[in-house]
Amino acid sequence: MSNATTKMVYSYRILWLSGVLLGPLLLAAIAVQGQEPASPVFQNHKTKEWTNLDNITFSFDCKRRSVGFYADMEYNCQIFHMCDEEGNRIPHLCANETSFNQEYRICDWDYNFNCTESPKWFYLNELTYATDPPDEDDEDY
């Protein structure tokens, strides 16, 4: 093979290799450009993130509350508290992009519930975590 033919073969190989390597990248870029933006529902829940947790103070009080979990509306339900038998408060933080759904007592997407309605579900703690002492005549205990 002549020197000119060898250079031409290498040129074609480089061109072919460039197409193989860059082609998928070009197709991916075109595909991304053609995508529609996320629906507003999914865009809304991505804006809530805890970036600064310094000096959080709580006005939420567990005194005179039943044992259970309670949304803290002061923090837009992103924080919830577990109240124990002694009236102690144990705060918990929902993961980024979620808040405490009082009805189901889970961290959930904001669009699934209304935080301001949380107090109407507080009574569920009384039903779920209530314990009655056993009868003194109960032999199984």
- Contact between 84 and 62 under an 8 Å Cβ cutoff? The reply is yes
**Residue 93, pLDDT score:** 94
- State the Cα–Cα distance between residues 39 and 94, nearest whole angstrom: 23
Q: CA 106: distance to chain centroid?
A: 11
**Residue 129, pLDDT score:** 81
**Residue 51 one-letter amino acid:** T
Higher per-residue confidence, 114 vs 11: 114
Mean pLDDT in the chain?
A: 79
Q: Report domain extents, the chain.
A: 1-35, 44-129
Q: What is the pLDDT of residues 77-103, one digit of tens each?
A: 999 999 999 999 999 999 988 999 999
Burial of 68 (0-12, 13-18, 19+ CB in 10 A): buried
* Whether pLDDT at 117 is above 90: yes
